[in-house]
Amino acid sequence: MAGQEKTEKATPKKRRDARTKEGNVLQSKEVNTTFSLLGVFLTLSVVGPFMYVQLQSALRYFLSNVGSDFEANQLFLTQTALQILRYVVLIVGPILGVALLVGTIPTIFQTKGLFTMKPLKPKFSKLNPITGMKRFFSIQSFVNVIKGIIVISIIVTIVYLRVSELLPEIRKAPQWEIQQGVLFIAENVFSIVILIIIIFAFISAGDYVFSWWQYERKLKMSKQEIKDEYKQIEGDPKIKSKIKQKQLEVAQNRMMQEVPDSDVVVRNPTHYAVALRYDTERFFSAPKVVAKGQDELALKIIAVAEESGVPVTEDRPLARALHDTVKLGHDIPSALFTAVAAIFAELDTIRQKINVD
């Protein structure tokens, strides 16, 4: 259907929800593999001699005890277990520690420190065989297979070419001393690993680009989804209109309650009506607008004023000026003092005449 095709880029809200609610972030596993491999290689380059010495020490320790009499009691077993643990930590520990650390750092950078258990939550949809078949024949699965074939082919080719090149020297291995053989193996293994790391770096760059493309494709939205999101954020225009209308009605009702307490209503003659009240207890104060409106609202103000016995006077220019220039609840400006004062003076004259009569 038109409008349902996901052709639009993801909105900032969509990206935030994908990250925080679903744990969906851009991440390439090949980048982690490359960094881990590089970290292990550098660790071997630095602490390799130390590990070799510890390996020799371990061999001497255990070979020296071969054939000797010993009593398999708890003390002996405990000492042997601790000694084995010590050598394992000294020989394998640096490699495992660096691999874990270097493998974690790229993940932190790629996910920007996000930690969530949501991707690990079980999804029953994954048990659906149809869904499983779709994943099996997806672009991601195809790329993973091709990538795996390429990686294995490259590694096998590099090892084969390197071993073929070193074959004449390998034939002389029986004549070497142990240290010479270990050094020969280490140097050539390192040279092979360097080539593999360089190739993995290019593969990781390509995999990251592909992961980015796939991530953006999954986040794409349809035009209808963008409209729905906008309504969710900004609110449905119909609901907002009803709320605004209700607020206006409440404000008008509150304003109409001020009309009976006003001193005079200035009208024009049906289009505008402004109710004024003058608080004589406020020093240096001016009359203020307590209600105003036009058309139907103006007629309501006039009707309430007449029912409440509030004087209503007609002054077209003044009514229009008061309505357009003075906010509700504010004092009239000095420019209108004279015109408003004349109306209040006229009202005082009428009241005095009524009192005399």
Residue span of the structural domain in which 163 resides: 123-234
Domain boundary among 195, 214, 234: 234
Residue 1 has pLDDT above 50, yes or no: no
Cα gap 36→112, rounded to integer Å? 18
pTM of the model: 0.47
Domain shared by 91 and 174, yes or no: no
Domain total of the chain: 3
Query: How high is the pLDDT of residue 123?
Result: 57
Whether 79 is covered by a domain: the verdict is yes
Three-class secondary structure of residue 112 per DSSP: coil
Whether 108 is covered by a domain: the verdict is yes
Whether 164 is covered by a domain: the verdict is yes
Domain boundary among 183, 201, 234: 234
Whether 16 is covered by a domain: the verdict is no
Domain shared by 351 and 248, yes or no: yes
Which CATH number do you get for residue 309?
3.40.1690.10
Which residue(s) pair with 8 in the sheet?
221
Tens of pLDDT, residue by residue over 325-338, are 888 888 888 888 88
DSSP letter at 258 equals T
Domain boundary among 173, 199, 234: 234
Whether 20 is covered by a domain: the verdict is no
Tens of pLDDT, residue by residue over 105-142, are 777 777 776 666 555 555 555 555 555 555 556 666 77
Query: How high is the pLDDT of residue 354?
Result: 61
Domain shared by 166 and 248, yes or no: no
Domain shared by 305 and 338, yes or no: yes
Tens of pLDDT, residue by residue over 63-108, are 776 655 556 567 767 877 888 888 788 877 777 877 777 777 777 7
Whether 4 is covered by a domain: the verdict is no
Domain shared by 328 and 244, yes or no: yes
Neighbours of 28 (CB within 10 A): 21
pLDDT greater at residue 58 or residue 113 = 58
Work out the average pLDDT over 202-209.
Answer: 83
Whether 3 is covered by a domain: the verdict is no
pLDDT greater at residue 289 or residue 125 = 289
CA distances from 249 to 72, 242, 256, 272, 297 (A): 94, 10, 10, 18, 11
Whether 21 is covered by a domain: the verdict is no
Tens of pLDDT, residue by residue over 216-232, are 888 888 888 777 777 77
Domain shared by 192 and 252, yes or no: no
Work out the average pLDDT over 245-250.
Answer: 82
Domain shared by 221 and 274, yes or no: no
Cα gap 223→59, rounded to integer Å? 69
> For 176, phi and psi rounded to 5 degrees?
-85, 155
Query: How high is the pLDDT of residue 274?
Result: 92
